[in-house]
Amino acid sequence: MSTETVHLTDRRPHVSADELLAGFRPSERFGEVSFDTYRPDPQQPSQARAVEELRRFADSVGRGGGGGFLARLFGGGSRTDVRQGIYLDGGFGVGKTHLLASLWHAVPGPKAFGTFVEYTNLVGALTFRKAVDALSSYTLVCIDEFELDDPGDTVLMSRLMRELSDAGVRIAATSNTLPGSLGEGRFAAQDFQREIQVLADQFEVLRIDGEDFRHRGLPQAPAPLADVELAAVVEQRFGGRVVAADAFADLVEHLSHVHPSRYRKLIEGVDAVVWREVRTIEQQAVALRFVVLADRLYDKNLPIIASGRPFDQVFTPEMMAGGYQKKYHRAVSRLTALAREGILGDVSAV
Q: Give per-residue pLDDT as tens, 195-240.
A: 556 656 667 888 888 875 555 544 466 788 998 889 898 988 898 8
Contact between 277 and 248 (Cβ < 8 Å): yes
- What's the whole-number mean pLDDT along residues 26-47? 91
Mean pLDDT estimate for the chain: 81
Are 207 and 44 within 8 A, CB to CB? no
User: Can you tell me the distance from the alpha carbon of 238 to that of 270, in angstroms, rounded to the nearest whole number?
Assistant: 11
Matching fold, domains 4-14+214-344 and 40-208:
yes
Tell me: the pLDDT tens digits for 329-345? 889 988 998 998 888 76
* Amino acid sitting at position 227: D
Reported for 225-231, long-range contacts at CB under 8 A and 24+ positions apart, including other chains, are 225/305, 225/306, 225/307, 225/343, 226/307, 227/276, 227/277, 227/307, 229/307, 230/274, 230/276, 230/305, 230/307
d(C-alpha 103, C-alpha 9), whole Å:
36
**Domain residue ranges in the chain:** 4-14+214-344, 40-208
> What pLDDT band is residue 185 in, cutting at 50, 70 and 90?
very low
> Is the pTM of the predicted complex or chain greater than 0.85?
no
Long-range Cβ contacts of 268-271 (<8 Å, 24+ apart): 268/13, 269/242, 270/6, 270/8, 270/242, 270/243, 270/244, 270/300, 270/302, 271/238, 271/241, 271/242, 271/243, 271/302, 271/303
Tens-place pLDDT, residues 61-79? 866 544 444 333 333 343 3
User: How far is CA 253 from its chain centroid?
Assistant: 22
CATH number of 4-14+214-344: 3.40.50
pLDDT average, residue stretch 259-288: 93
152 with 124: CB under 8 angstroms? no
Other Cβ atoms less than 10 A from the Cβ of 292: the count is 21
Which CATH superfamily hosts domain 40-208?
A: P-loop containing nucleotide triphosphate hydrolases (3.40.50.300)
